[in-house]
Amino acid sequence: MTRLTILEYPDPRLRTVAQPVAVVDDALRATIDDLFETMYAAKGIGLAATQANVHRRLMVIDISEEHNQPMVFVNPEVFERECVGVMQEGCLSVPGYYDDVERAQKIRVRALGRDGQPFELEAEGLLAVCIQHEIDHLNGRLFVDYLSELKRTRVRKKLEKERRQNTPHTDADGPHAPPI
């Protein structure tokens, strides 16, 4: 198992539309295990492969406190939505920022599981919201896209500034760096 690096907004790779998975094999199951390890380590309740720079239609969710309800969704599709409501969302790719998003609070989703077997699931509340949040990632969409441009720009600048402050600089970055 490997802990993967989570891409952060505004990384353009988060805008990639993921490709459908053709076969659920041992290599895919190894990636699924890596996604769970990465999600649990980051204290998230869901993780889409896109966030780990893997552009396949694959996501994992565990909304339990005890980390004992792992759910795998390969090629997920929502086919029924009802009861639009607002919930506060966060995202491991937009660290430290939370805001309200309007989504269906009750959905039916179909996907393949870890064994490649198709299943259908009715989900409500946090699970329903999380499934839609993860599918958005697979389509290159982030929860901040539902906010005003003003808010989105503010979040982007804050994260860009944090990233600059966390990036080590060397002499070669200075004004007298030799031409390459």
Tell me which of 134, 149, 160, 162 is the catalytic residue: 134
**Which stretch in 4-12, 75-83, 90-98, 114-122 sits in contact with Ni ion by CB under 5 A?**
90-98
In this structure, the strands spanning 71-89 and 46-48 are unpaired
| Contact of residue 111 among Ni ion, ligand GNR, none (CB under 5-8 Å per partner type) | none
Site mask, ligand GNR, residues 5-44, x = CB under 6 A?
---------------------------------------x
Minimal distance, residue 179 CB to Ni ion, in Å: 41
Partner that binds at residue 44, options Ni ion, ligand GNR, none, CB closer than 5 to 8 Å by kind = ligand GNR
134 is catalytic: yes
Angstrom distance (rounded) from CA 131 to CA 119: 14
Task: Please identify which residue in 52, 74, 91, 101 interacts with Ni ion, judged by CB under 5 A.
Answer: 91
Minimum CB distance to Ni ion, residue 92 (Å): 6
The answer, yes or no, to whether the previous bond of 10 is cis (omega within 30 of 0) is yes
What amino acid occupies position 51?
Answer: Q
- Smaller CB separation from ligand GNR, 56 or 137: 137
Please spell the DSSP secondary structure of 20-82, one letter per residue. Answer: PPS---HHHHHHHHHHHHHHHHTT-SEEEGGGGT--BSEEEE---TTS---EEEEEEEEEEEE
C-alpha dihedral, 14 to 22 to 35 to 71, nearest 10°: 110
* Sheet of 71-89, strands arranged across: 46-48, 58-61, 71-89, 99-112, 118-124
**Residue span binding Ni ion (CB under 5 A) among the ranges 20-28, 66-74, 85-93, 98-106:** 85-93
Tokens found for residue 39: 């999600």
Residues 134, 59 contacting (CB under 8 angstroms): yes
Which one of residues 89, 135, 138, 155 is an interface residue with ligand GNR (CB under 6 A)?
Answer: 89
Catalytic residues: 134
Binding site for ligand GNR (CB under 6 A): 44-48, 51, 89-93, 129-130, 133-134, 137
Binding site for Ni ion (CB under 5 A): 91
